[in-house]
Amino acid sequence: MKILVIEDEPEMVKTIESFLSNEKFIVEKATNYDSGIEKVFLYEYDCILLDISLPGGSGLKILEKMKKAGVAGNVIIISAKDSIEDKITGLDFGADDYLTKPFHLAELHARIKAVMRRKQLDGKEILHFGNLSLDFKNRLVFVDEEELKLTRKEFDMLSFFAANTNRLITKEALAEHVWGDNTDAADNLDFVYSQMKNLRKKLKDSGADIVIENVYGIGYKLDK
């Protein structure tokens, strides 16, 4: 899986690169508008992470050119600008998602996976792991072909773990994923804890062979 990161902040690039490499992605970098254009048109990527403010031009401009030229690429905009107009323009120009900096790496990972999953040829969006299958399109979970009834939030949480296996997810990142950006995470940490208790109980009772473990009270981890 090849990912292009178009981002001018060197430390940001380094962090994303080291994170994605760990996830077995091949990461390429472009740190300005021109090299971004060059790489986008020369090579093919499974996913492109695109910053908007770049030296030499706007990331939106790259997106526009890609769209005009019919260059395919699963683009996720990563921007420090939480601007509604940018979001709309970006999505209009064919971006698949918009992530506002600062974001949690687990969130980035989940978004990348979701984008890539949606672009899979069969379009079924079903993920299997262990004896579990997650149907993202219809938001259903099956344990050995038997449906496991989950609430909306429980499904959101389970799918977040499914996208971030073997990774310690902090309660904050989880709360933010489930509750959205403008939620005071502090409000909901207890709630996350109780929801996780329910989810883990449901998984256990249904005979799922995956375990989401609590790590030192810091967060949770799904081991595969």
Q: Which of 91, 126, 140, 168 binds other proteins (CB under 8 A)?
A: 168
User: Closest Cα partner for 178 from 162, 198, 193, 157?
Assistant: 157
Residue 67 contacts other proteins per CB under 8 A: no
Residues numbered 87-116 forming contacts with other proteins, rule: CB under 8 A: 100-106
Asked if 200 touches other proteins (CB under 8 A), the answer is no
> 3-state secondary structure string, 113-148?
HHHHHHCCCCCCCEEEECCEEEECCCCEEEECCEEE
Q: Are 132 and 40 in contact (CB under 8 A)?
A: no
Stretch that binds other proteins, among 32-40, 62-70, 135-143, 211-219 (CB under 8 A): 211-219
Neighbours of 97 (CB within 10 A): 20
Rule CB under 8 A: say whether 191 interacts with other proteins: yes
- Report if residue 167 touches other proteins, rule: CB under 8 A: yes
Options 43, 55, 218, 223; binder of other proteins; rule CB under 8 A: 218
How many chain residues interact with other proteins (CB under 8 A)? 42
Taking contact as CB under 8 A, which single stretch among the options 25-33, 76-84, 142-150, 202-210 is the one that binds other proteins?
76-84
Contacts of residue 171, defined as CB under 8 A and 6 or more positions apart, other chains included, come to 185, 189, 192, 193, 218, 219, 220
The H or E element containing residue 53 is: strand 53-54
Q: By CB under 8 A, is residue 129 in contact with other proteins?
A: no
Using CB under 8 A as the criterion, what x/- string covers residues 16-45 for binding other proteins? x-xx--x-----------------------
Q: Which amino acid type is present at position 217?
A: G
Conformational region of residue 150, where left means phi above 0, alpha means psi within -120 to 50, and beta covers everything else: beta
- Interface ranges with other proteins (CB under 8 A): 9, 11-12, 15-16, 18-19, 22, 80-82, 84, 100-106, 151-153, 167-168, 170, 172-173, 181-188, 191, 194-195, 215-216, 218-219
